[in-house]
Amino acid sequence: MKYCAHCGAEIYDEAAICTKCGCAVDGIRSPYVNSPSNNYNTLAIVGFVLSFFSAVIGLVLSIIAYKQVKNSGERGRELAIAGIIIGAIETAIIVLYVVIIVGIYLTVLFSVVA
């Protein structure tokens, strides 16, 4: 038995592909294995940039990009995570602001009526 250089799983000596992670063994390249790319995921970049201008849209796009990067092996995982964090914080601030404004409005409304 030998071990996969990528994930460390135990594999058979005659195996060409690791059954756990799907990586090629001994330099044999399988057409079914996702190869890591040097390209950035475009959606991760767009989600990160939009998280500064439109928090909810940036948050949604960054979540989608994170899932794509995880499956495709493209670069941009850090951008997607940053977009998720920034979008989530901005969304929470907006929701808190709306709750405070509605609370103030209702307080003033009911104090004037009473």
Pairing of strands 10-11, 2-3: antiparallel
pLDDT by residue (tens digit) across 42-73? 999 999 999 999 999 999 999 999 999 988 88
pTM: 0.63
SS (H, E, C) the chain: CEECCCCCCEECCCCCECCCCCCECCCCCCCCCCCCCCCECHHHHHHHHHHHHCHHHHHHHHHHHHHHHHHHCCECHHHHHHHHHHHHHHHHHHHHHHHHHHHHHHHHHHHHHC
pLDDT by residue (tens digit) across 80-107? 999 999 999 999 999 999 999 999 999 9
Distance CA 9, CA 91 (A): 42
